[in-house]
Every structure is written in C-alpha cells, then in structure tokens.
Structure 1
Amino acid sequence: MLKQHIEDFLVRKISGYPAAELLVAVSGGLDSMVLLHALAALAVKYQVLKCRVVHFNHHLRGQDANDDECFVARYCRQQAMELIVGQGRNIPEQRRQQGLSLEEAAREARYLFFDRCLAEKRQSWLLTAHTASDQAETVIMNLLRGSGLRGLKGIPAQRGRILRPLLALERREIQAYATRHAVPFVEDRTNRSFAFTRNRIRHQLLPLLKQEAGARLEKRLSAMAAGLAADLAVIDELVENFVSRWVEFDAKRRELFVNRRQLKNQSPGLLPHIIERCIFLAGCRKQLPERTLSTLVKLAVGENRKSLTSFRLADKLFFVVQAERIIIGGRNFEVENRQAFFLHIPGPGAYPLPENRGLLQIEFLEKREIDVNLQSGNDPEDGEIFDADSISFPLVLRSWQPGDVFFPLGMAGRRKKVKN
C-alpha cells in the first residue's frame, strides 16, 4: 500500500514517470529510510527509474551526527546506491549572523545543499520523507505561534522540484512498513528531548488531542493544511498580479517601491499577503509574526499622509512609509538634526515615534507564549522582554541625551554609556 501510494504520487507529479532521476534526502531516521527502501523496490521494478541518495551532516550533535552519516554511507554501499554528502560546519555562526533559531539555520543550510544538488542534476527531482504526523506537528506549532494562513498551511507537498510523497501518511503507517520489511534506521536522541517545542507537541499535546478528536486527527490536520494551501494559491495569484503592476525594484540600491495609493485600494484581507510578499522580494527571509504584519498593514494604510514612518525588519531592512509610496530596503531615510522629545505612555499599545524614529509597541505576554517564541526563534531582534510586575504605567519615553548610561546584566553593576 505504501509503495503504491508513493508511485501514484510520482505519476501525478512527474511527467514521463517512471523514466525519472530521483534524489532521495536520507537522514538515516525511520521516515527517510522507509522512503528509500520503497523507492529502491520501485527502481528494481522499473529499470529506467534512477535513485541517488543525498545526506546532509549538520555537525550539531557531535559524534552522533557523524555516526548517522556513516550509517547512511554503509547502507548505500550495501545497496550499490550513489551517495552525495553535504557538510554544514558553520551553522551556529550563520544563525548568529542571520538572527535565526538553530532549527531555522539548520533548515536553511540543508535546503541550500538540496538546491545545489538539484542545480547540478537539472533533470532530477528531490524527495523528502515528511509525513502527515510532521504536518500535524507543524500546523499546531504554527498555531501556537500565532501564525496566519501561511503557517497553518504547513509543509507543501511540492516546492519546485522538491516533492514529499509521504505527506498524506501517518507515522504509524511508516512504522508498520518498517516492521514488515525489517528496514534498518537510526534513532535521533534529540527527538525524545522535551526541551524542543515540536517534541512536546509530538509526545504530550498530540496524544491528548487524539483522545478528544480521534486517532485520525493527524490526517484531518494534514487535509486541512492542503485545503489552505489551495486557497493560498488563489491569493498568491492576486498578490503577484499586484506586484507586477504596482511594485518597482531598484536593483542598484536593492530597494523596493510599493505604490501606496494602489495598495490602499486593495481588499483588507489581501494587504498582509501583499506586504509579506514585498518584504520577501526585498530580501527578508525570516517569517514575520502575524502581529508584526498587522502593525505594518496599519502603518501602510494610515491616513497621516504628512508623516514619514519607519519600521525596522530583520535582515537589516527598513519598511518606510511615505505619502505616495512604501520603500523596503537597507536605508532608514532618517531625518538629520532631530529634536528632543518626551512621549507619555499610558499603557500597552502602539506608539509612532516622531521624526521617523519608528514605532514603539508594548504588549503583555503570558510566560508560556514567551517560552514558545524564544524556542522557535521568534523573539524580535529589536525587542526586549521585561518582568511586567517591575513596570508601572504611565511611562515616559524620551530621546537620547548626552551622558545617558545603563547597567547591563552580567557586568557586576558596571555602567555603560548609551550611544546615540
């Protein structure tokens, strides 16, 4: 049944199947080894079907990561299969430079390797072993983060020449196949650690939800994600139509210009998708939280046409709102010789700062929400978290003055000057 499911999927996705060249992403874990085993059987059935194995060593788990690489290499030798190995030796440094969580940085490095493999094998398709269980975990995790439709659509079954043929199958189906065919695999010990949000969802939250919703919950969540992906495809078509007509790009300065008048004429439900797409095209690769997108929409369609408002994004980009256009790029368009200011803050809310200083946003968060965001790498680059009990409103925010100092944590009470 599993092999038939994979074959049906490939027939739908690959023109000319089974005459195809497949790159199979194999970590050595249960899911990827089952996928490889099934594809190897199909390759025997169809001599024109070619399979190569790709493995990426993130070098994040010490000797365990090297052992996994050796396991995959040994299996490929036994099966006379070609193996392509990628090495991710600088992921922690890339994480710091790009402001990503460790999981995001690892994924970025892994898919860059996959893309290089596909570029070298221009007629090939790359297959990963994501399952309906992975999909359910991703949807729930994004729901807890407050993601919009793009988060709730989860993992796509296809992205370019990357295919995921197991996405409609639950992990228990994968386990049953592995038992029936004695498929060897390695166990990643970090999959049992409750230090990771995904593992707590997998081992604690999902079992509780299944007691209420039934054992087929994962497949229902996966089907819901597929439906949302289809809806988003329609939205994306509308977004691309707007971008092609009303967005300009200065390649020399790497700045993107959005016609603000035309943006304000769009449906309110389409605005966050247009803004998110424009920010992506400008070079920001970090997924924006829903509340940040909501703030940017309010800035973009605000009626104060005389003010110049700026919002700092990830990847050293600024979102600058002018009377007739929005500029997304690396310049802040700061006003020189700013005047000193004092701003009264009565409570939580969003407060535009004078003279293009940006936006101050204050909100109360539950401790659990803070923990989820920090573990997911969604803590804002230009934000700070304070103990709410140590703050009392109203507050007064003022501009920098010569001689201002602060006392950083971990410096034994020594003070440090605040730079302008």
Structure 2
Amino acid sequence: MNRYDKGEISAVTGKVAEFIRRYDMIRPGDVVLIGFSGGADSVLLTELLWELAKDGGFSVRAVHVHHNLRREEADRDAAFAEHFCSVRGIPFSLYSCPVEAVARKKHLSLEEAGRLERRRVFEECADACGGTKLALAHHRNDLAETMIHHLARGTSLSGLAALRPVRGRMVRPLLCLERREIEEELTRRDLRWCEDSTNASDDYTRNGIRHHVIPYLEREVNPKTVEHMAQTSLDLIEAEEYFVSETRRLLEQYCVQGKQGLELAEPVRQEPEILQRYLVRECLELLAGKRKDLVREHLESVLSLWEKQVGKYVCLPYGVQAVRQYHGIAFQRSEADVIVPSGISGNPETAGCGDFTAISGEGVFFWREFQIRVSFPQKHGAKFERISENKYTKCINYDKIKAGLVLRTRKSGDYLTVRKDGSRKKLKDFMIDVKIPREQRDSVLLVADGQEIVWVVGYRVSEKYRVNKETKNMIQLEISGGYTNE
C-alpha cells in the first residue's frame, strides 16, 4: 500500500503518481531533469516529483533557461527558481540563451526560437548530468491549445497528438491535470509562482486561443472541453502508434534499397491510401533525415505519380526527388540530375519537373525552366523601403504564410486576395481580367500557400501577403528563366 492509498498525500499527487505509473514514465534509479521556468505548472511539477522521488527510488534535478528577453522579470524568475530548489536541496542549473539572436539568425519567431533553445539546453544538460528522463510541465490546457492551433493551421494525425505523455526520454507527468487543478493545488499548499507578463498579451496566437477560444468553448459548448480534448488526444496517440507500427511492417514488404536511394514497389497500391501516405513519409524521412518541412501536399504529389508516365518526377524538400519507375516509385537524394529508367527522358522539358517545388529556406530553387532565389533581407539588416522590387522580384509578408510556399502552375480551386478588405477572386477569373491568353494560363508560374495564391509571377502579389509597416518578417523572391527572359 502506497502513501496515497493510506491517505497520506493529496488527491492531485495521487492522480499524478498514477499517471506516471500508467505510462511507465519514471523508474527506480532514474535521474529526472525537470524543466523549471518558475511558472505555476513547473512549480507544481518540481514539488510533486521531489516528493515522489523519496518513495520512488529516483532522483531529481532542475534546469532553468534564461531567455534574455524580459530583463528584470527574467532575472526575477531565475532567482526564484534557484531559491526554490536550494530550499529543497534540489540540484539546480541555470543556462543563459541569446534567444533574440537565435531568432534573427534562423529567421524564427521568438516563441519558436525559445522553444528550440530550451529543448537544446535540456538535452545537453541531461547528457552532462547523466539524466535518463526529461520532465516537462505541459498540462491538459496546453494540450488543448496545441490541438486547436495545429488543427486550424492544417496538420496530420501525429500533429493532433503532438503532446504525448512519453516520447523517448521526455515525460509529461502533468498531462492528467488542467490548469485550474494546478493553481488550486498550489494555493492549497501555499506555494508561490512567477507570472510571465507576456502570457497576458494576445500578440501570440497561442495566447489568443487560451484567452478566448477555449473559454468560449467551455462556456458555450461544454465545460469539460479541455478534458474531452485530452482524452481524444490519447485516442489519437494510440491510432498514430498503430499506423506507425503498420508502416514499419509494410516498409519491409514493399520498400527496397535501390542504386540511388529507396524504391517503393508498385503492389503497395493495394494498401489503404492512408498507409501509402505513411510509407511515403517514412521513405522521405529515411532519405532526408528529417520531416519538418514535409506537408500533405508533398505526400499527395508523390502518390499522384502512380497515374503518371515512367520518368515523371516531383521535387521535394532537402534535395529529394521521387521518380516514377517501371515497377514503382524511386526516392533519390540528388541535387542535380534525376536518375530515370534507361531509355526514358528525365529532363524537365519532356518529363516535367513534377507538380511543384517547395521553398524550404534561403537558397536557389529550380522548377522547370525557372530559377528562384530566396532570401530573408531582414536577416542581413535590410529595411523594406530600401529593397528594390520589380516585375520578377517581390517581398512577401512571411508572417502570413500558413501551409508553406510552393512553386507550381494553376490547379482547380486556386484563388487570391484582391482587396485589403479580404475580398477573394478565383485565379481563373483573375487571369481572364488581366487578359492572359488561354493557351498561356497553364504555364504561368505561381507562388502558392496551399490553394491560396501568394504571387502570380509577372502579374500580381496577393493583397494578403503584401509587406506593410506592421510586417515583422519578410521573404524576398527573385525569379529568372522561363518567360521572365522574354
């Protein structure tokens, strides 16, 4: 009988302890490194793990990341975290990270740069101190916010199950609690915590979801919204794990190592399409070593090759190309030439260059006879008013991009924003209005964000994506080749 069964610890402590046991998060002998910001959730996480360690046979350490953004407030948080741990005898590490500089260098938002820096520090600190587990203080409200955010922006099944109780050595013991329960338990224990002033601002999308969307759902739809979303997330995790398991099994059945990369055999077409997408994603990740910039449009473009002639290919992120072969689809790491079957022309003029090319960062990209040079002027200190634009060089509001930029020609459903009030027009109607000859419309180069057209190259930039004085991040696109030389 444990102390919870004997009524010696609180209901919240027992709930967390049971959640840890259910997902086998922490075992005797583990060294648990806690990400300790000083906020309410991390205070309770640290307090509970410190208590449970006494009977659980594991040890705890804490690490605090100073982001160098909020000055005095950040200094206060660091001092609070260090004192909290000192009183309890918890080993404490403080790391200082230049988050703003990282954001500028990598062209990230401060929020994303901070998340990546924290993750880097946690991993390095765990390696240095022999940490076997990394404990993060995400709770059910964080999970609900993430689900809504990902769902609205467009995501896969794995994106809806992004915050998992266990992922590798990363554990989240508070995913069984709502924010309300955490604050109530801290109040009951008379424990203080630090408030981050930026959490009160709606400048961050996640804060807007927290302050307005979830309260509306709880008030107008169901007061148990967060609880139900948390349970759905756990169901989605099980579904995702099943699909991943099936993918690994089918990978051995249908995928072989080819001369230039991986080959997916034609009989895979008999499998459900969702498993085909998982297999394509797995092949791309195996070849590229990462999947961050892989979106559904990439997967669908590869599957569309089944209906294409041998030799057709699509250009994918990270220099990967998928080529239609006689008996399947080949995935190749080739920055220059696509390797196609003997006797089949693989040049862009006869085989096409695929349905689109994704823009995945700075550099030079090629699509059919076009060359696209991509840069982030602000990264190099340039101001918009000093940047020269012309018919084939444009600056785009990078903050407005949702699905990711791709280069392609038109397809059904395309539209663009033509007025500042958000009014839209079908691309077909726009082409008629500006008198693009019918026979030329299929060859007009487009920069697209999903089905929304960002730039009809040589004609117009969407009002939605125009740079203005409120723009925080911009991307410059310079097109050459093709009809730009006419």
Asked if TM exceeds 0.5, the reply is yes
CA distance in 2 between partners of 1:340 and 1:244 (Å): 34
Listed as ranges, the matches of 1:15-414 within 5 Å are 17-43=27-53, 45-46=54-55, 48-89=57-98, 92-93=101-102, 97=106, 101-122=109-130, 124-247=132-255, 256-281=261-286, 282-286=288-292, 288-299=294-305, 301=306, 303-313=307-317, 316-323=318-325, 324-329=328-333, 331-333=335-337, 357=367, 378-382=402-406, 387-388=417-418, 392-394=430-432, 395=436, 396=441, 397=443
Instruction: Provide TM-score, normalisation by structure 1.
Output: 0.77
Give the direction of change, closer, same or farther, for the CA distance of 1:154–1:398 in structure 2 (3 Å limit): closer
CA distance in 2 between partners of 1:341 and 1:283 (Å): 27
Letter in 1 for 2:404: P
CA contact (8 A) 2:348 2:369 kept: no
SS of the residue corresponding to residue 431 of structure 2 reads coil
Matched residue, 1:7: 17
SS of the residue corresponding to residue 195 of structure 1 reads coil
Give the direction of change, closer, same or farther, for the CA distance of 1:68–1:276 in structure 2 (3 Å limit): farther
CA contact (8 A) 2:154 2:403 kept: no
Give the direction of change, closer, same or farther, for the CA distance of 1:115–1:265 in structure 2 (3 Å limit): farther
CA contact (8 A) 2:312 2:346 kept: no
Letter in 1 for 2:40: L
CA distance in 1 between partners of 2:25 and 2:136 (Å): 19
Q: Deviations over 1:88-118 (max 9, x none)?
A: 3266546754x65543443233223322333
Q: Deviations over 1:353-377 (max 9, x none)?
A: 9xx93699xxxxxxxxxxxx96697
CA distance in 2 between partners of 1:18 and 1:340 (Å): 63
SS of the residue corresponding to residue 335 of structure 2 reads coil
CA distance in 1 between partners of 2:399 and 2:199 (Å): 15
Q: Deviations over 1:34-91 (max 9, x none)?
A: 1111222334x43843211022233344454343223212322232221123343266
CA distance in 2 between partners of 1:111 and 1:127 (Å): 11
Compute the displacement of 1:192 (Å). 1.6
CA contact (8 A) 1:310 1:357 kept: no
Q: Deviations over 1:378-404 (max 9, x none)?
A: 4524469963458612553358xxxx9
CA contact (8 A) 1:27 1:55 kept: yes
CA distance in 1 between partners of 2:159 and 2:112 (Å): 14
Identity of aligned residues (%): 24
Instruction: Provide TM-score, normalisation by structure 2.
Output: 0.67
Q: Return the index of the structure with the highest Cα Rg.
A: 2
What number of residue pairs does the alignment pair up?
Answer: 383
CA distance in 1 between partners of 2:405 and 2:104 (Å): 13
**Cα RMSD after superposing both structures:** 4.0
CA distance in 1 between partners of 2:125 and 2:479 (Å): 48
Give the direction of change, closer, same or farther, for the CA distance of 1:133–1:256 in structure 2 (3 Å limit): farther
CA distance in 2 between partners of 1:12 and 1:375 (Å): 41
Compute the displacement of 1:278 (Å). 2.6
Q: Deviations over 1:154-180 (max 9, x none)?
A: 311100111111102111000101111
CA distance in 2 between partners of 1:270 and 1:47 (Å): 41
Compute the displacement of 1:152 (Å). 1.8
SS of the residue corresponding to residue 156 of structure 1 reads coil
SS of the residue corresponding to residue 51 of structure 1 reads strand
CA distance in 1 between partners of 2:253 and 2:130 (Å): 32
CA distance in 1 between partners of 2:314 and 2:67 (Å): 37
Q: Deviations over 1:288-335 (max 9, x none)?
A: 444443344334x3x21334222332xx33332232433253525368
CA distance in 1 between partners of 2:129 and 2:404 (Å): 38
Q: Which has the higher contact order (CA 8 A, sep 6+)?
A: 1
Compute the displacement of 1:29 (Å). 0.9
Matched residue, 1:365: none
Compute the displacement of 1:207 (Å). 1.1
Compute the displacement of 1:187 (Å). 1.1
Letter in 1 for 2:91: E
Compute the displacement of 1:237 (Å). 0.5
Name the stretch that deviates more: 176-185 or 260-269.
260-269
Compute the displacement of 1:228 (Å). 0.9
CA contact (8 A) 1:10 1:17 kept: no
Compute the displacement of 1:270 (Å). 0.9
Give the direction of change, closer, same or farther, for the CA distance of 1:148–1:130 in structure 2 (3 Å limit): same
CA distance in 1 between partners of 2:167 and 2:65 (Å): 19
Matched residue, 1:369: none
CA distance in 2 between partners of 1:185 and 1:111 (Å): 22
Letter in 1 for 2:277: P
Compute the displacement of 1:186 (Å). 1.1
Structure 1: runs of 5 or more not aligned: 343-349, 361-372, 411-415
